[in-house]
Structure 1
Amino acid sequence: MYQPPSAATTGFPVSTNSTTSAAYSGATTTEYASHPLSKPLVEWSTGLCGCWSKWEQYEHCWWTFWCPCFTFGRVAAIIDKDSTSCCVSGSLYALLCCVFGSGYLYSCCYRSKMREQYGLKGNDCTDCMIHCCCEPCALSQEYRELQNRGFNMFTGWHGNVEQQTRGIAMATTAPAAESGMSR
């Protein structure tokens, strides 16, 4: 008879379903653990070839095509929350491209991290295939996704956090009132 792990073992609450399960040698009750925080996955905000919709994005895609290490460095800095800087990530990517001819294995790992952080649709296999077959399009899509989520790609993680906290602090304070005209 199948005995699933207890709640203390998995950390997830265990509930009982009273349906009959023929798969576990005639057991009359099946216990299962469900993930308490599962959210539905969402689509990417732009398509893989979304560069062609606006001129600003088209220009950025050309930069990504000719020098992907800059785009990758900025994306990695946001995803890693500045634990590795833009320069370090971009330089490592450039080094991998020079030594191995491509840095797609490194960059596809960041695509997977990004999907997990923001609940985006996809899987590790498609991440690897997209980066292997069309690295500039994949990096541009990730860059646009972060921009569409409100990140300023030029300031990094800490700059975005500071900008958000400054915006919240400013919104909660009343503006100073001027006292009429004076000379």
Structure 2
Amino acid sequence: MGEGQDWSSGFWDCCSPCGTCCLGFCCPCCLHGRTSSRLKDPSLQNDSIMNGSCCLYFLTSYCGLYFIPLMMKRGQIREKFGLEGSGCGDCMRACCCPCCTLMQNEKEVESHAGLLQSSGYQAPGEMQYGKANR
């Protein structure tokens, strides 16, 4: 594994929250789409889980190639947030347990949502000068 920060949740912590777990198990393409939307719009104000990422995941799952967009998204998340791991590890996780990978991806992006919302330029505050004692 490459150097970097730990993921905010463990790989096998895929049963909570329940709503996200159910979405990942019953409709994984929708969870993949929501994670992609959250990367672009952390507040999910313009949430559209039925997007290009959702369609790509859906189409590749019919060919048995579902792991390709999943490992690519995981790599994107890993690089964006400086997380530990490698391309080979991303591929193995996506192939062996796609549901856990989907959940960990979503939970990681959700945990960084505040950082993503405030990642623009922040003007420094005014400087305060104290009065000199004379």
TM over 0.5: yes
For residue 71 of structure 1, report the CA deviation from its aligned partner.
Answer: 0.8
Which residue pairs with 2:85 in the alignment?
Answer: 122
The answer for unaligned runs of 5 or more in structure 1 is 1-39, 152-159, 173-183
Which residue pairs with 2:72 in the alignment?
Answer: 109
Which residue pairs with 2:60 in the alignment?
Answer: 96
Q: Which structure has more RCO (C-alpha within 8 Å, separation ≥ 6)? A: 2
For 1:108 and 1:62, locate their aligned partners in 2 and report how far apart those are by CA, in whole Å.
21
Equivalent residues in 2 for 1:144-155, closer than 5 Å: 144-150=107-113
For residue 51 of structure 1, report the CA deviation from its aligned partner.
Answer: 2.7
- TM superposition outliers: structure 1 runs of 4+ over 6 Å: none
For 1:150 and 1:92, locate their aligned partners in 2 and report how far apart those are by CA, in whole Å.
24
For residue 141 of structure 1, report the CA deviation from its aligned partner.
Answer: 0.5
For 2:113 and 2:80, locate their aligned partners in 1 and report how far apart those are by CA, in whole Å.
15
Compared with structure 1, are the counterparts of its residues 102 and 61 closer, same or farther at alpha carbon in structure 2 (3 Å cutoff)?
farther
For 2:14 and 2:100, locate their aligned partners in 1 and report how far apart those are by CA, in whole Å.
8
Q: 3-state SS of the aligned residue for 1:50?
A: coil
- Aligned-residue RMSD, C-alpha: 2.5
Which residue pairs with 1:77 in the alignment?
Answer: 37
Q: 3-state SS of the aligned residue for 1:46?
A: coil
Equivalent residues in 2 for 1:26-41, closer than 5 Å: 41=4
Calculate percent identity across the aligned residue pairs. Answer: 32
For 2:12 and 2:60, locate their aligned partners in 1 and report how far apart those are by CA, in whole Å.
25
2:38 touches 2:113 (CA, 8 Å); kept in 1? no
How many residues are paired up? 111
For 2:108 and 2:60, locate their aligned partners in 1 and report how far apart those are by CA, in whole Å.
24
Which residue pairs with 1:63 in the alignment?
Answer: 23
For residue 113 of structure 1, report the CA deviation from its aligned partner.
Answer: 1.1
For 1:121 and 1:75, locate their aligned partners in 2 and report how far apart those are by CA, in whole Å.
19
Which residue pairs with 2:10 in the alignment?
Answer: 47
TM-score (norm 1): 0.54
For 2:113 and 2:88, locate their aligned partners in 1 and report how far apart those are by CA, in whole Å.
28
Task: Give the number of the structure whose residues are more often strand, by fraction.
Answer: 1
